[in-house]
Amino acid sequence: MKLILASASPRRVELLAMAGYVFEVSPTDVDETPQSTETSEAYVQRIALAKARAVRCAEPALVLGADTTVVLDGELLGKPASAADATRMLRRLSGRWHEVVTGVAIRRLPDDVQLVTYERTVVVFDELSDDWIRDYVASGEPFGKAGAYAIQGRGGTRITRIEGNYHNVVGLPVSTVIRLLGEQGVGCPTSGILP
C-alpha cells in the first residue's frame, strides 16, 4: 500500500526516510488557527488529521499527517510571524521548561479508517542572553519552527534537559509513527522517497 506524507517539512521527510519507509510527499495547506477552548492535544490532533484529510489519492494508500506546537504556561507557541515574535517567544522560553506536543494522524484510503494520537516531550532551555537571541533570530533558523527554535540545529545547543521523545521535538515522533503504521500492516523494508 502506498504511503503518503502530508507535509512539506524537510525535517519530517528526513525522519520518515531515516526510519526506512518508501513514501511520496504531498504538501497540504490547512488553516492552523487554534480554537479558543482547544487543548494543545486536541489542537495538534485536529490539525494532523486535517492535513491527512487534505490529500487526495485514487488508489489504496495510507496518508500520514502531523502537527507540532510548543506549550508554555498554557499558551500555544506556533511558528513565529516575525523577528519580533521569534524574539518574544525565545525570551519567554529562556531558563524555563516547556512542552512540545505533536499530533499524528494516519488515514487509510479508500475506506477512510483514521488513527489519531499525540506525543508530549518536556524541554528545558538554558538562560538565553539578549545577544544570543538577537544573533539566533538573525540566523533565520527560528522561522518555520514551532516555538521559534530547532532542537536539531543551533537552538539545540542551548537546551539543558529533555524528557521524552527527541524526534517529537524535531517534528515527528518516529516511534509512534512506526507503531501506527505497523497496526496497518506496514513495515519498513527499505529507505527513500518515491519520485
pLDDT in tens, 101-114: 999 999 999 999 99
CB within 8 Å of 143: residues ≥ 6 apart: 79, 80, 86
Instruction: Over range 88-98, report the average pLDDT.
Output: 97
**Domain that residue 171 falls in:** 2-193
Contact (Cβ atoms closer than 8 angstroms) between residue 65 and residue 57: no
In the predicted model, is pLDDT for residue 62 greater than 60? yes
CA distances from residue 105 to 59, 91, 144, 181 in whole angstroms, order as listed: 19, 32, 21, 10
Of the candidates 152, 147, 153, the residue with the CA atom closest to the CA atom of residue 87: 147
Chain centroid to Cα 22, Å, comes to 19
CATH label of the domain that carries residue 45: 3.90.950.10
In the predicted model, is pLDDT for residue 16 greater than 50? yes
Distance spanning both ends of the chain, measured CA to CA: 16
Neighbour tally for 153: CB within 10 Å: 15
Of residues 184 and 160, more confidently modeled: 160
Number of separate domains in the chain: 1
pLDDT bucket at 185, cuts 50 / 70 / 90? confident
In the annotation, is 67 catalytic?
yes
Instruction: Over range 153-159, report the average pLDDT.
Output: 96
Contact (Cβ atoms closer than 8 angstroms) between residue 87 and residue 43: no
Query: Of 29, 67, 73, 131, which is the active-site residue?
Result: 67
Mind listing the pLDDT tens digit for each residue in 117-155?
999 999 999 999 999 999 999 999 999 999 999 999 999
Q: What is the pLDDT at residue 1?
A: 83
In the predicted model, is pLDDT for residue 100 greater than 80? yes
CA distances from residue 162 to 39, 76, 165 in whole angstroms, order as listed: 22, 19, 8
Instruction: Over range 53-75, report the average pLDDT.
Output: 95
Positive/negative CA dihedral, 172, 189, 192, 112: negative
Positive/negative CA dihedral, 153, 42, 113, 54: negative
* C-alpha grid cell, residue 180: 501506527
